[in-house]
Chain A
């Protein structure tokens, strides 16, 4: 029998042991493949990916970041799974070397076995990836509004196979070299050495709390642009703090709990707590890693989700006073037919019109404010009474303009990131010389208002408010080409007006190019872009979520034999199923939810920082994301708990005195 046969036979015989390891390999490879297959999709490179170039480049950079994250994830995860797997078989290798297998042969054996498993994993992984590619493409189609027909990319397939073949061999080699350095006795005893009582250092535990507190306080109070400078030190402090919290403080806390006799001597608590101390010690580093990973996931998801919900604010859509606007000018000036048609289309769609404004504006030249070529700039004149009517509807301040005076209306409330204050003036001049068809008149600028009352239509945005009498005089002088009729429509729920708006745009046609605006159209465009990002974010988050879960799973099940022995003893003494379940639940719950709580806390403070930066309140978003994760984590916990209990039950099912 050659070594190869031996490895293969052993693999066949112990198939159940390899299942978990195999499945996690398949999962990782499938994810990697799906993503590569998407990346190499022919439509993605030649065809138009999204409506505009900015969206395209944004999406591509998003995809690139995802790729990097997935690669890091893959390497870490496969590495971890393999080393855990090899470690869990210490006894087997110990026996082999006891029977005279040389280290070289053992390494060869591990590598042979590794090659077999990796080949099987890669084949199944790629096949699974192909199957689920369609699902992924469908999700992408929905989010990005493009068609992605099913496609299997040869490049992606080859790349996946080569990358994973290499990765598995490197990881296996590393794991095999670890085995060599151990004494046979240690290997044989890996499962039986009684664990020493965990030690801890009070100073380090306190340091952990202090560092964490320091990081949190900084994240909470630092405001505005300082957030960016504070970010890296705060992250470092918090990561270090978390490390000490898990490796030191958790054990201090568990010991404190164990010293509380009232609590400790309460039925199942004694066993549950004391085992927990050991479990915490053993899993501290894993818990630390998974809570940091979790914090990153939470924060990323919350950030993306916040952008998603804040689209109307960020894009300025929420500043628009009317939901739908149509501007009539030139040949369309008397085309009331189209306006009535538009209203009818909306009503046919089941959208009720709440307000409808028709306001005449006059296009005049402001000779005071000259452009670079020395010509005056265009500005739209509105009568004081019309302005107040629109202002009231838009919830803006109403004004009174005397004769020979004007008030300048700047259509934005914010200038890039800063709020426009009342003291700061956008229009710097004291006078405004208005020119209409060669007739000029000087007006005194009484003041200015910020925030538009007419929904922006392309270039026509700045308004000048005139006294009704001055406006009338101006109107007498105006010709058809100077007059603009602004139609503003407010509907009951503008988010539902997408279909109607597209229909109106169709109906109005080229004549109204640049003269029709409906909030919902840019909103939908933004949404599809952020929706795509959100989807990618969730995809990555899902990966991380599964990864952290699996790492904890590996760790738990690696020691299930030891746990089985302990529960076997308890069973002999006489514990009911319910009591055993309660002990197991308490332990697993701590392992599962401790990182969750820490990640949640971290991400809440990170979110507070983000809120400080963006000047927005994002706690609600954070909580929504958190509840979502909590539900997932809860389901995962219940499943793992069930499996664990079943495994323990079968491990302890033997008779009391059968040990002889």
Chain B
């Protein structure tokens, strides 16, 4: 059973008929099984962000379809989509996107509060999440009082708290130093292994990508290469670097 299926996704930017059109995605298909941790990699302009936007139901494909849990969210109207996102998707962003006006705990429980869940359930889940992500001590702090790594783990907790079908992460380590990156990726690994959370992560960072089970590489909007983790993370990291040098373009600096 696939949690996420995409069939022949295409996205063309620019108006048809006149002017320049850009094909950001070209007949792209990929499937994600439950409990998988998939990394999406590719050079700049390869269509990673477009893919993630479409998966996040924020953007709609020009052709092709997306099925999340067997349902096609792009058939829903705007408000239904919002509720769909809230119930089925969890987001982790490069720039954390926490609300400054809320405390850490309040940020984490936000999806549950918006759902109108009971107070006890909210408290219990918040404590569970905090324990998994090791942010129990900072629950009552404000967002500007904690480090970037802590902010990103808070964002993880928020993404995870309503048990979404799939978590979409966009360059989660992009704004973090190496130590914080390590902590975050370990946390994501734990979430993936212990709670069987399905994660799709877009990244440039081969180190971060080595935590995934499988890597899908895109080039010019098309499927390019697939790598599956077979042995240790260190070996997988090497394989990813090889893949990147194969794909070329803008990756030299990360090696």
A-side interface residues toward B, CB under 8 Å?
A: 194-197, 261-262, 265-271, 274-275, 277-278, 566, 569-579, 655-660
Contact = CB atoms under 8 A, between A and B. Distances in A.
Nearest to B170: A657
Given A270-B102, A575-B82, A656-B53, 6 more contacts: A194-B144, A261-B119, A574-B85, A574-B87, A657-B53, A660-B170
A270 B106 CA distance: 8
Closest 8 CB pairs of A and B: A574-B86, A574-B85, A576-B79, A194-B144, A194-B100, A656-B58, A274-B101, A574-B82
Contact of B86 (A261, A575, A577, A655): A575
29 contacts: A195-B101, A197-B142, A267-B116, A270-B102, A271-B102, A271-B110, A274-B102, A274-B106, A566-B99, A570-B99, A571-B82, A572-B85, A572-B93, A573-B86, A573-B110, A573-B114, A574-B82, A574-B84, A575-B114, A576-B83, A579-B82, A579-B114, A656-B58, A656-B91, A656-B170, A657-B170, A659-B95, A660-B171, A660-B174
Interface in B110-125: 110-111, 113-116, 119, 122
B99 A271 contact: yes
A271 B89 CA distance: 20
Interface in B214-235: none
Contacts of A655: 53, 58-59
B99 A657 contact: no
Given A655-B53, A655-B58, A658-B53, A576 B106 contact: no
B113 A277 contact: no
B153 interface: no
Contact of A660 (B49, B116, B144): B49
A112 to B, nearest CB: 36
Nearest to B112: A265
B93 A265 contact: no
Given A195-B100, A657-B56, A573 B122 contact: no
Contacts of A571: 82
A2 to B, nearest CB: 36
Contacts, number: 111
Contacts of A569: 97-99
B82 A275 contact: no
Contacts of B102: 270-271, 274
B134 interface: no
Contacts of A566: 99-101
B79 A578 contact: yes
Q: For chain B, which range describes its interface: under 10, 10 to 19, 20 to 34, or 35 or more residues? A: 35 or more
B149 to A, nearest CB: 17
Interface of B: 49, 52-53, 56, 58-59, 78-79, 81-87, 89, 91, 93-95, 97-102, 106, 109-111, 113-116, 119, 122, 142-144, 158, 170-171, 174, 202
B100 A657 contact: no
B86 A658 contact: no
B194 to A, nearest CB: 24
B143 A656 contact: no
Contacts of A576: 78-79, 82-83
B110 A266 contact: no
Contacts of B202: 657
A574 B89 contact: yes
A262 B119 contact: yes
A265 B123 CA distance: 10
Contacts of B91: 572-573, 656
A274 B99 CA distance: 10
Contact of B116 (A195, A196, A266, A271): A266
A367 to B, nearest CB: 89
Contacts of A658: 49, 53
Nearest to A279: B101
B158 to A, nearest CB: 7
A584 to B, nearest CB: 14
Contacts of B171: 660
B113 A265 contact: yes
A76 to B, nearest CB: 31
A197 to B, nearest CB: 6
A576 B97 CA distance: 18
Contacts of A570: 99, 110
A573 B100 contact: no
Nearest to A268: B114
A266 B113 contact: yes
The listed residue with most A CB atoms (<10 A of its CB), out of B82, B85, B171, is: B82
Contacts of A271: 99, 101-102, 110
B144 A657 contact: no
A265 B53 contact: no
Contacts of B97: 569, 572
Which of B52, B98, B101, B113 is the most central at the interface, judged by chain A CB atoms within 10 Å of its CB? B101
Nearest to B158: A573
B230 to A, nearest CB: 30
Contacts of B158: 573
Contact of B101 (A275, A572, A573, A660): A275
Contact of B52 (A265, A266, A657): A657
Nearest to A272: B101
Nearest to A277: B101
Given A195-B101, A655-B53, A574 B83 contact: yes
B49 A265 contact: no
A267 B113 CA distance: 5
A262 B123 CA distance: 12
A483 to B, nearest CB: 88
Contacts of B78: 576-577
B42 to A, nearest CB: 13
Nearest to A192: B100
Contacts of B89: 574
A657 B101 CA distance: 22
A194 B141 CA distance: 13
Contacts of A194: 100, 142-144
Given A271-B99, A660-B170, A573 B85 contact: yes
Given A274-B102, A275-B101, A660 B82 contact: no
A577 B143 CA distance: 26
Nearest to B84: A574
A400 to B, nearest CB: 81
A196 B144 CA distance: 8
B182 to A, nearest CB: 22
B172 to A, nearest CB: 12
A587 to B, nearest CB: 11
**Most chain-A CB neighbours within 10 Å: which of B91, B97, B109, B174?**
B97
Nearest to A196: B144
Contacts of A197: 142
Contacts of A574: 81-87, 89, 111, 114
Contacts of A579: 82, 114
A198 to B, nearest CB: 10
A136 B133 CA distance: 68
A572 to B, nearest CB: 6
Among A261, A262, A269, A270, chain B packs the most CB atoms within 10 A around the CB of A270
Nearest to B86: A574
A576 B79 CA distance: 5
Contact of A267 (B95, B114, B170): B114
A290 B219 CA distance: 59
A265 B106 CA distance: 9
Nearest to B100: A194
Given A265-B122, A270-B102, A572-B58, A657 B114 contact: no
A570 B111 CA distance: 9
A261 B123 CA distance: 10
Contacts of B81: 574
Nearest to B59: A655
Contacts of A657: 49, 52-53, 56, 58, 93, 170, 202
